[in-house]
């Protein structure tokens, strides 16, 4: 059971949250190729190591925030 540090509520068990996958992916606008659109909808980083990811405190303050978590050790740190 991961302990996630919500910026608003403090450390909480992971089952108070929804996981949001990779952080920092903005929805592209304007004209673009099917490849570029697929890039946004489907392609994602999947590192074995530090991962900048999003969490949503669904059973708490309902805010989205990001952390960096190591996908092997599960150590969590604030995003740089």
Binding site for another protein (CB under 8 A): 1-3, 8-9, 12-16, 18-21, 26-27, 29, 32, 34-35, 37-48, 51, 53-54, 56-64, 69, 71-74, 76
Q: Output 74 or 78, the one with its CB closest to another protein.
A: 74
Whether residue 52 contacts residue 79, with contact meaning beta carbons closer than 8 Å, is answered with yes
Q: Output 30 or 80, the one with its CB closest to another protein.
A: 30
Q: Is 72 exposed, middle or buried (0-12, 13-18, 19+ CB in 10 A)?
A: exposed
Q: Nearest approach, Cβ of 80 to another protein (angstroms)?
A: 18
Q: Nearest approach, Cβ of 19 to another protein (angstroms)?
A: 4
Task: Report which secondary-structure segment, H or E, holds 11.
Answer: strand 10-13
Tokens describing residue 12: 């909480």
């Amino acid at each position: 059971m991961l302990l996630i540090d919500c910026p608003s509520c403090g450390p909480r068990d992971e089952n108070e949250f929804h996981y949001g996958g990779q952080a920092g992916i903005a929805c592209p606008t304007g004209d673009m190729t099917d490849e570029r659109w697929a890039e946004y909808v489907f392609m994602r980083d999947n590192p074995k190591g530090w991962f900048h990811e999003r969490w949503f405190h669904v059973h708490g303050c309902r805010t989205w925030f990001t952390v960096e978590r190591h996908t092997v050790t599960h150590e969590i740190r604030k995003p740089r």
